[in-house]
Amino acid sequence: MKVIDQIKNAKKPLFTFELLPPLKGNDINTIYKAIDPLMEFKPAYINMTCHSHEVEYKTRADGLHEKKVTLKRPGTVAISAAIKYKYKEWSKDAKVKTGTHDIFIICNQADKDEVVERIMKRQELEKRQDDSEAVVRNRLNVYREQTSPLGEYYNQKSILKKIDGMGSIEDISGRINEVLLAIVE
d(CA 68, CA 60): 12
Give, as one character, the DSSP assignment of residue 102: -
Proportion of the chain above pLDDT 90, given as a percent: 0
Lowest mean pLDDT among 72-81, 94-103, 151-160, 165-174: 94-103
Query: What mean pLDDT do residues 162-176 have?
Result: 82
pLDDT, one tens digit per residue, over 35-45 is 888 888 888 87
CA terminus-to-terminus distance, the chain: 23
| pLDDT (average), residues 167-177 | 82
**C-alpha separations of 108 from 28, 139, 145 in Å:** 27, 16, 17
Please state, for a pLDDT cut of 70, what percent of the chain lies above it.
Answer: 79
At residue 99, the 3 state secondary structure works out as coil
Q: How many CB atoms lie within 10 A of CB 177?
A: 15
Q: Are 102 and 13 in contact (CB under 8 A)?
A: yes
What is the distance of C-alpha 157 from the center of its chain?
24
Alpha-carbon span 159 to 49, nearest angstrom: 25
Average pLDDT over residues 82-105: 56
Q: What is the mean pLDDT of residues 170-175?
A: 83
Mean pLDDT of the chain: 76
DSSP H/E element including 109: strand 105-109
Residue 93 has pLDDT above 60, yes or no: no
Eight-state DSSP code of residue 3: H
Ordered DSSP codes for 130-144? GG-HHHHHHHHHHII
Provide the 8-state DSSP code for 40.
G
In angstroms, the CA 103 to CA 39 distance is 19
Condensed to tens digits (0 to 9), the pLDDT of residues 57-74 reads 888 899 888 888 776 776
Over residues 115-135, the mean pLDDT reads 82
**Residue in 27, 135, 28, 4 with CA at minimum distance from that of residue 85:** 28
Tell me, what's the pLDDT at 106?
A: 61
